[in-house]
């Protein structure tokens, strides 16, 4: 990621593809910092906040959502071309999101399930992350992203340094806050050992297993965790489902979910 020295009042653009709006809402959820952020940048394009739209080029583009239509591909290429830095925010933009569940199925059948006139629907067979189509300067993960991490990324972009975002697992966050391990102590299926930190280990803190909404950590040993989940009594189908949610399109989770998709024993 090459971060240019920052010019005064750089332009910030926020873009949306297939998504729930939650990650861009995270920016509006920075109630204490929002007015300072919009004072430090020029909001050039952010339709959830403003009807004013400026033409590019843009110093920083934040991109939410996954690519699911042919038109999306053209749009993301144009955005990349107009942007000095392009940062993807959230599970949809970084791994295809929950809508990447279609990648395991027949999208024609999906369309027929939801819509009476499938012929009106224009959609691609797969939901794919932004990085599959254009070079991305930084990927911020989470479903939704953590707003403190978002502020760190924006600050880093504005000051021309690399964002400090950890790649370790949720386990370290549990240890940090002193949460008893739900997998070891209670046998609760938990993806914490293979899931990227960033949320603050929210799920184990409410006595539930991590469900992997931040996607795989940097060195995720998913096959070892999957064997442990079987050991604590999780069915193969449930192991497969656990890996197949909001980051179903990320390679590490996809591979494990496919391994346990079939009834035969393996691993």
Partner 1 sequence: MTHQRPADSRTVKVEGLARVEGEGSLRVEVRDGTVELVELEIFEPPRFFEAFLQGRRHTEAPDITARICGICPVAYQTSACLAIEDACKVAITDQIAMLRRLLYCGEWIQSHALHIHFLHAPDFFGCEDAVELAGLDLAAVQRGLEIKKVGNLVMEVVGGRAIHPVNVRVGGFYKAPSREEIAALVEPLRRARDAALASVEWVAGFDFPDIEIDYRFVSLRHPEYYAIESGRIASSDGLDLDAEGISELVEEQHVARSNALHARLGGQDMYLTGPLSRYALNSGQLSPIAREAATAAGLGAVCNNPFRSIIVRAVELVYSCDEALRLVEAYEPPDPPAVAVPGTAGIGYGASEAPRGLLFHRYELDGDGLIRAARIVPPTSQNQLCIEDDLRRVAQANLSLPDEELGWLCEQAVRNFDPCISCATHFLDVSVERL
What DSSP state is assigned to residue 178? T
Residue 222 and residue 194: Cα distance in Å, rounded?
A: 6
Q: Which is nearer to partner 1, 25 or 221 (CB)?
A: 25
- The single residue among 2, 8, 114, 218 that binds partner 1, judged by CB under 8 A, is 114
**Rounded distance between C-alpha atoms, residue 40 and residue 230, angstroms:** 51
Kindly write out the interface string for residues 194-233 of this chain, putting x where it contacts partner 1 by CB under 8 A and - elsewhere: -----x--xx-xxxx--x-x--------------------
The Cα 15–Cα 48 span in angstroms is: 9
Nearest to 239 by CA among 204, 205, 265: 265
Which is nearer to partner 1, 19 or 61 (by Cβ)?
19
Which 3-state string (H, E, C) describes 110-176?
Answer: HHHHHCCCHHHCCCCCCCECHHHCCCCCEEECCCCCCHHHHHHHHHHHHHCCCCCCCCCEHHHHHHH
| Interface pick for partner 1 out of 9, 21, 81, 162 (rule CB under 8 A) | 21
Q: From residue 23 to residue 62, what is the string marking binding to partner 1 with x (rule CB under 8 A)?
A: xxxx-xx-xx-xx--x----x---xxxxxxx---------
**11-16 and 42-45 beta bridge pairing:** parallel
Among 3, 27, 60, 68, binds partner 1 (CB under 8 A): 68
Position of tokens 């479903």?
A: 143
Q: Which residue, 3 or 12, has its beta carbon nearer to partner 1?
A: 12
Do the Cβ atoms of 25 and 95 come closer than 8 Å? no
Does residue number 74 form part of the binding site for partner 1 (CB under 8 A)?
Answer: no
Please say which residue, 127 or 137, places its beta carbon nearer to partner 1: 127
Beta bridge partners of 35: none
- In sequence order, the β-bridge partners of residue 87 are 62, 138
Of 5-13, 68-76, 133-141, 153-161, which part binds partner 1 (CB under 8 A)? 68-76
Among 73, 101, 165, 230, binds partner 1 (CB under 8 A): 101
Binding site for partner 1 (CB under 8 A): 16-26, 28-29, 31-32, 34-35, 38, 43, 47-53, 68-69, 72, 97-99, 101-102, 105, 107, 109-111, 113-117, 120-121, 123, 143-144, 199, 202-203, 205-208, 211, 213, 238, 241, 245-246
């Amino acid at each position: 990621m090459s971060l240019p020295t920052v010019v005064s009042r750089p332009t910030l653009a926020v873009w949306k593809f297939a998504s729930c709006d939650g990650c861009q809402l995270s920016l509006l959820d920075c109630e204490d910092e929002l007015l300072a952020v919009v004072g430090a940048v020029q909001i050039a394009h952010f339709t959830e906040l403003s009807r004013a739209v400026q033409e590019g080029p843009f110093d920083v583009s934040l991109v939410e959502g996954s690519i699911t239509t042919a038109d999306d591909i053209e749009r993301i290429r144009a955005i990349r071309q107009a942007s000095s830095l392009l940062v993807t925010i959230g599970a949809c933009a970084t791994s295809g999101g929950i809508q990447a569940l279609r990648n395991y199925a027949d999208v024609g059948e999906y369309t027929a399930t939801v819509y009476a006139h499938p012929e009106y629907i224009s959609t691609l067979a797969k939901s794919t992350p932004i990085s599959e189509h254009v070079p991305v300067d930084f990927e911020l993960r989470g479903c939704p992203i953590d707003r403190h991490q978002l502020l760190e990324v924006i600050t880093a972009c504005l000051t021309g340094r690399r964002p400090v975002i950890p790649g370790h697992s949720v386990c370290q966050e549990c240890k940090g806050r002193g949460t008893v391990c739900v997998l070891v102590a209670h046998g609760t299926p938990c993806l914490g050992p293979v899931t990227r930190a960033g949320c603050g280990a929210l799920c184990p803190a409410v006595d539930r297993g991590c469900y992997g909404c931040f996607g795989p950590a940097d060195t995720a040993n998913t096959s070892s965790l999957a064997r442990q989940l079987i050991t604590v009594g999780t069915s193969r189908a449930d192991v497969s489902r656990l890996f197949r949610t909001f980051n179903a399109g990320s390679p590490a989770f996809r591979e494990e979910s496919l391994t346990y998709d079939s009834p035969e024993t393996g691993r």
